[in-house]
Amino acid sequence: MTITDNIRQLSLFLKDIIGYNEDPRGTLERMSMKAQKEEYPITSEKIQNLLTGLSSEMTTNYAISAGKKAINNAVVSLLTDVVDGVTKRYKNIKLYTQELTDAMRSLDEVYNDGMIQNRWLSIKGSLLYQRYFTERLNRDFLQEVNGVVYGSDIVLTIEKIIVIMKSYLNRVNEESLIKDLVDTNKNTKALLGLTSDMKSLVCFLPDTVDLSKLPKSMEPLKFEVPVYNKSQTGKILKEIALTVPDIDEANNSIDILGGMESLLPMFDSSYGKLSLNVKDVKNVLIDGYHKDTIEVVTKIKETLIELVQQYLDRLLIDEDFPERVVNYLNVLIRVADIDNSVTSKTNDICSKLAKTISIYISLYNLYYSMMMHSLTAEPDEIKK
């Protein structure tokens, strides 16, 4: 069963056991009716065996004791499944963190090799080479970009590519999604921290179990870092181009060499921004709210198990037991709801960050290819 299924069944089962101490037969008979119709924490066969034991004076005490043990085991099993389910949602958290790290590492290898800087020194050192560089871009490189390899479906010019890159890099620098995630993580940890003293925790929650707040499903932490080939990069160029107003005016307003050089600080700024974003996300994923969620759910498990044991040992009366159980069940439901909401948000933001990094890498690789395009030029060809 899912986490939500286990919480729902736990809520209903804890309601069913009320009255067992005073009327074990009546309680078991009500349980039996449910067990015959649906999946139940105690099997129908087990309940029937307990009822049979209650039919004889010689086995009544044993049957009552065995019933308490069956109830306790069922509660422990359901709560263990809840804790395990919450924990498993994050079983691949290190894998996803590593994927983000690996994506940035693959960029680092190209970004920090010094080739781009050396190319600009070469280009700036010769007016003749500057002319040759721009001619090769307009003649040969554009033929490749506008051909079947990239297949962007729109006619691109070097000027348009520069405008497209500037538009996207500006977007990266203005993005504030990660700050939102960091703030959400901080606030969630603070909220969950309020449950540190579980035994004296009293919440102003409904006096009945509010299953309406229970999420329909709880998806695990999961996102992917896409890898784009040249064909997909062509589609990305088209998608960005369609968001840039007056892009057709780029041919008349952009100087190729000046535009290409102006992209360098923009790539630098975006690179720094993405590096910090990955660092912040790693902190959230490795030491964030999910650890607090697991800790709180584990405490609730221990507290509810103790309450049930106290009730079965007659240390709690029928009037006190429901009130205290309802309190902790509602806390559990709220924690599940909060965790589900924050995890959904984390998946969304991390997916967007992963896509941003991948698009950035694709655009930087394109820029790198543009800068290196005429690297193998023959001296005689330059002189022409």
What is the pLDDT, as a whole number, of residue 22? Answer: 92
What is the pLDDT, as a whole number, of residue 70? Answer: 96
What is the pLDDT, as a whole number, of residue 152? Answer: 65
Q: How far apart are CA 125 and CA 246, in angstroms?
A: 34
Q: How far apart are CA 250 and CA 74, in angstroms?
A: 70
User: Which of 17-21, 39-43, 144-148 shows the lowest per-residue confidence on average (mean pLDDT)?
Assistant: 144-148
Average pLDDT for residues 193-214, to the nearest whole number? 73
Mean pLDDT in the chain? Answer: 88
What is the pLDDT, as a whole number, of residue 117? Answer: 82
Contact 112, 267 (CB under 8 A): no
Q: How confident is the model at residue 49 (pLDDT cuts 50, 70, 90)?
A: very high
C-alpha separations of 38 from 35, 43, 110, 289 in Å: 5, 10, 60, 35
User: What pTM value is reported for the model?
Assistant: 0.84
Q: How far apart are CA 77 and CA 71, in angstroms?
A: 10
Share of the chain above pLDDT 70, in %: 94
User: Which of 5-19, 75-89, 273-287, 312-326 shows the lowest per-residue confidence on average (mean pLDDT)?
Assistant: 312-326
What is the pLDDT, as a whole number, of residue 205? Answer: 58
**CA-closest candidate to residue 13, choices 294, 218, 311:** 311
> How many Cβ atoms are within 10 Å of 368's Cβ, its own excluded?
17
Is the pLDDT reported for residue 35 higher than 50? yes
pLDDT digits (tens, 9 = 90+) for 323-379: 888 888 988 999 999 999 999 999 999 999 999 999 999 999 999 888 887 654 444
Is the pLDDT reported for residue 380 higher than 70? no
What are the b/e assignments for 163-191, b being 16+ CB within 10 Å?
bbbbebbeebeebebbeebbebbeebbeb
Q: How far apart are CA 349 and CA 274, in angstroms?
A: 13
Is the pLDDT reported for residue 162 higher than 70? yes
pLDDT digits (tens, 9 = 90+) for 272-331: 999 999 999 999 988 899 999 999 999 999 999 999 999 999 887 777 888 888 888 988
What is the pLDDT, as a whole number, of residue 265? Answer: 92
Contact 64, 25 (CB under 8 A): no
Average pLDDT for residues 200-204, to the nearest whole number? 58
What is the pLDDT, as a whole number, of residue 198? Answer: 67
Average pLDDT for residues 210-238, to the nearest whole number? 89
